[in-house]
Amino acid sequence: MSTNQSPSGRPETLSGNRDEQLRQAMSRTGLDALWVSRPENVRYLSGFTSGDDAKLLVVAAGDQTGATLYTDARYTVQAGEESRFPAFIARSPATLEHAASSVQGLRVGFEADHLTVSELETLRAHWQAGGTPATLVSTQGVVEGLRLVKTEEEVAQIRAAQTIADAAFAAVRPGIMAGVREDSVAGQLEAFMRERGAGSAFDITVASGPRGAMPHGTASARVIGNDELVTIDFGAKVNGYHSDMTRTVAVGNPSEELRRLYRAVLEAEEAAVQAIRPGAKCSDLDKLARDILVSHGLGEYFAHSLGHGVGLAIHEGPGLRGTSKDVLEAGMVVTAEPGVYLPGVGGVRIEDLILVTPTGHEVLSSSPKEHL
């Protein structure tokens, strides 16, 4: 066990803009402290890039403000280089024993969506057993709420990721033809992005022919046939920030039935993109696209939501779905991605990545769409 003060000299106390927003969010939720366990949230607040193997304790109670990164000895050097907060190097339960003294008598939030039952029991055992127990408070979305609106720096990372993804698509598209395996297409996209310093944002979907009926048809060994549609959904990852884009392309001369599906999805997608602006209700956007597909008799085949926010996570707020209460604000980055999936026939999805701007929107993805 050891403490590791950041050599950068950056402050261990909560003092920046992001810290102030967090302090306000904690105050609204009635929290003195927050035990951050969602990897993206650890990264967002501390800068430490291996959030899967770290936790962050933030204390914002009266004069007592500050944060400590908890990670293990595999990351001693990395934590020193990356974390804005001092790191305590240990593994659980030593981490919890160390944190216990800081949380005595405090209302400590935990992230209910990112803590297992056994981890919660361990927190209780260490922080509620002594003379001045902490009160553990279940929370949802405290840090995620801060992540909804991106800073200029965050938008720059997402834009860089999308630029690489667009270049990858342009390079690989000519080779998407009958006789080529789906996983070869995925491999080429991934290799292109890696060559340019980006990772793949998620397992790439390459779904050809009848496999197009699977919204997340991860590239398989299937050989693309003639006169088929192929749905390709992929993204790049740059400094933790994702891009996300889907194109459906024609190989040969797909049937009129497939072309009709394509045209309906394109109409829904373009209408949704045009409606993206600050103040737009996410549920209305979903309905707009869904109604167009319903008017084409395809509503029952639109098997998911219209879209989602994109950032440090591939799926984050706001949610562009029927049940969403979210309203768009400038600085949000979202997808619009209607699709239809007909078992035994195939499917179509078209997706753009969009920045909400003060006056409307900017489409970040630039790969051309086919007109069938």
**Site residues for ligand L64QQQ4R per CB under 6 A:** 202, 215, 233, 244, 246, 304-305, 308, 314-315, 337, 351
Closest distance to ligand L64QQQ4R from the beta carbon of 256 (Å): 26
CB of 127 to ligand L64QQQ4R, least distance (A): 34
Distance CA 39, CA 372 (A): 42
In the complex, the smallest distance separating the C-beta of residue 246 from ligand L64QQQ4R, rounded to whole angstroms, is: 6
Shortest distance, position 151 Cβ to ligand L64QQQ4R, whole Å: 23
Give the nearer residue to ligand L64QQQ4R in terms of CB position, either 38 or 308: 308
Indicate the residue among 37 and 305 with the shorter CB distance to ligand L64QQQ4R.
305
CB of 74 to ligand L64QQQ4R, least distance (A): 27
Identify the DSSP state of 86. Answer: -
Shortest distance, position 5 Cβ to ligand L64QQQ4R, whole Å: 38
**What phi and psi values does residue 230 have, to the nearest 5 degrees?**
-130, 125
When the beta carbons of 237 and 361 are compared against ligand L64QQQ4R, the nearer one is 237
- Please name the amino acid found at residue 51: G
> CA 310 to CA 333: how far, in whole Å?
6
- DSSP characters over 294-359: HHTT-GGG--S-SEEE-SSSSSEEEEESTT---B--TT-EEEE--EEEETTTEEEE-BEEEEEETT
Name, in order, each residue with C-beta under 8 angstroms of 343's C-beta and a sequence gap of 6 or more: 210, 213
Q: 3-state SS string over 9-70? A: CCCCCCCCHHHHHHHHHHHHCCCCEEEECCHHHHHHHHCCCCHHHEEEEEEEECCEEEEEEE
- Which residue is at the shortest CB distance from ligand L64QQQ4R? 304
* 108 SS3 class: strand
Tell me whether residue 20 or residue 300 sits nearer to ligand L64QQQ4R (CB atom): 300
Q: How far is the CB of 216 from ligand L64QQQ4R (least distance, A)?
A: 6
d(CA 74, CA 80) in angstroms, rounded, equals 12
Which residue's CB is nearer to ligand L64QQQ4R, number 51 or number 215? 215
CA 132-135-139 angle, 5° bins: 160
Q: Which residues contact 174 (CB under 8 A, 6 or more apart)?
A: none
Q: Which is nearer to ligand L64QQQ4R, 49 or 246 (CB)?
A: 246
Q: Which is nearer to ligand L64QQQ4R, 259 or 315 (CB)?
A: 315
